[in-house]
Amino acid sequence: MRITAIHEATVPLSVAARSANISFDAMTASAVALVTDVMHDGRPVIGLAFDTIGRYGHGGLLRERFMPRLLAADPDSYAAGSSIDPQAVWDIVMRNEKFGGHGERSGAVGLIDAAVWDLAAKLEGVPLWRFLAAWEDRETASGQVAVYASGGHYAARDDLAVLRAELQRGRDAGHTRMKIKIGGAPLAEDIARIEVALDTIGAGGSLALDANGTFDLDTAAAYLRALEGYPIAWLEEPGTALDYQLNAQIADIATLPLAVGENLFSFDDTRNLLRYGGLRPERDLLQMDISASYGLVEYGRILRLAEADGWARDRFAPHAGQLFAMQCAAGLGLGLAEVAISTASLFGRITAEVPVADGIATLPETPGVGFERLAVFNQLFGDVLPH
């Protein structure tokens, strides 16, 4: 088995939405295809990966460093019989990279890693969730995973009406857990948004809140006081990602669960969060983004680190809202996977075809991640597939 070509392309994700931290109107993502010399039905088997959201594309890093390293490698160094060894590929693409410096390269490496896992599952002829369950000797994987629907961005006009309509669409699509943005408006306006959201979701559902890392300690304290009495599932990213002291101070005064980690890009960052961030394993959630933090090889190290520190897998809810992360959550037995409420954007349509009932998604038996079955497949990968 040999990788014969690697293709990448930048895909626009422009969405007219904003959180308290960023606007998504110029957002981009990367698509990657690993082409092999293995043929199925007269066509090469190809490993595919599509980016997480909120990070922009990684084309320069992929073309200049990581793709050339893998293409130059001896196939015997990464082939595992008729399959491929994800750890060996990871070691190849990270060769001559200094320790530390966890920035944009973590997303570029994460994309190649995701394409390798897609490829490995396809070579076995099984969906990725089943491949990962077998890889970990887990016998209980079913292809089902609990999901929460993320949205509730601020609208330029008629914000409360737009919010209510969006959450109602989420309910109609089978979601019981939803998350909205806060911190981008005055506290009183955010409380009004929360009340509309709770009313729309109704009894039996749950609401989480995402501040996108914008609170200082005083602001976090004010919100926590105002939220007393409201049935909030968790408060996400109240403070900036790398201020572990601030995170610990907020955790010390928070009676509701916190969800953090989506903007940490490595094992090293996670270790510091667990050491100094004041988190509570019995209550809080860890949201490290698999694709943005060097991929599933690194995420496996993160899982083992946290488990040794007393964290159960049901406390992991990886950020992303994309199909690869859903497959990983199901296969590894994680607590939650994220999807987008809105299907108006390209990114939201990626997971829209996965059926959801009572907050549980059922993944297909399609080999690999399952991109090929999507209606938006050509929009995602049309520029990276060999013709």
In this structure, the answer to whether residues 279 and 230 fall within a common structural domain is yes
For residue 184, give both structure tokens: 């981008």
3-state helix, strand, coil in the chain (%, to 5): 40, 20, 40
Strand-strand pairing, 360-362 and 144-150: antiparallel
In this structure, the answer to whether residues 272 and 251 fall within a common structural domain is yes
In this structure, the answer to whether residues 147 and 118 fall within a common structural domain is no
Only one residue has tokens 């980016």, namely 51
Domain-located, residue 161? yes
Question: For residue 174, what pLDDT is reported?
Answer: 97
Span 174-199, pLDDT tens digits: 999 999 999 999 999 999 999 999 99
In this structure, the answer to whether residues 161 and 217 fall within a common structural domain is yes
In this structure, the answer to whether residues 146 and 266 fall within a common structural domain is yes
Question: For residue 140, what pLDDT is reported?
Answer: 74
Span 350-382, pLDDT tens digits: 999 999 999 999 999 999 999 999 999 999 999
In this structure, the answer to whether residues 150 and 55 fall within a common structural domain is no
- Choose one of 93, 125, 157: the last residue of a domain: 125
For residue 17, give both structure tokens: 């939405």
For residue 26, give both structure tokens: 């110029």
Residues across the chain: 387
Question: For residue 18, what pLDDT is reported?
Answer: 56
Q: Quick check: 23 pLDDT over 70?
A: no
Span 93-152, pLDDT tens digits: 999 998 887 888 999 999 999 999 999 999 999 999 999 999 988 877 789 999 999 999
Find all residues with CB under 8 Å of 91, minimum gap 6, and list them.
none
Q: What's the whole-number mean pLDDT along residues 79-100?
A: 94
Strand-strand pairing, 28-40 and 43-50: antiparallel
DSSP string, 131-189: HHHHHTT-S---SEEEEEEE--PBPSSSHHHHHHHHHHHHHHTT--EEEEE-SSS-HHH
Amino acid, res. 319: H
**Residues involved in catalysis:** 181, 319
Question: For residue 21, what pLDDT is reported?
Answer: 57
For residue 199, give both structure tokens: 């009313």
Q: What's the whole-number mean pLDDT along residues 301-324?
A: 95
Find all residues with CB under 8 Å of 163, minimum gap 6, and list them.
152, 155, 180, 193, 196, 197, 200
Domain of 91?
3-125
In this structure, the answer to whether residues 116 and 196 fall within a common structural domain is no
In this structure, the answer to whether residues 212 and 298 fall within a common structural domain is yes
Question: For residue 228, what pLDDT is reported?
Answer: 96
Q: What is the dihedral of CA 346, 289, 332, 315, to 10 degrees?
A: -120
In this structure, the answer to whether residues 334 and 271 fall within a common structural domain is yes
pLDDT band at 20 (very low <50, low <70, confident <90, very high): low
Domain-located, residue 383? no
How much is the mean pLDDT over the chain?
94
Q: Quick check: 65 pLDDT over 90?
A: yes
Bridge-partner residues for 258, per DSSP? 235
Give how far Cα 178 sits from Cα of 208, 257, 260, 333, Å.
Answer: 6, 15, 16, 20
In this structure, the answer to whether residues 85 and 110 fall within a common structural domain is yes
In this structure, the answer to whether residues 190 and 46 fall within a common structural domain is no
CATH number at residue 9: 3.30.390.10
Of the CA atoms within 13 Å of residue 76, those in its CB half-sphere come to 0
In this structure, the answer to whether residues 100 and 180 fall within a common structural domain is no
Give how far Cα 372 sits from Cα of 191, 318, 323, 364, 378, Å.
Answer: 42, 23, 12, 11, 9
Span 257-268, pLDDT tens digits: 999 999 999 999
Domain-located, residue 16? yes
CATH number at residue 144: 3.20.20.120
For residue 242, give both structure tokens: 């790398």
Domain-located, residue 142? yes
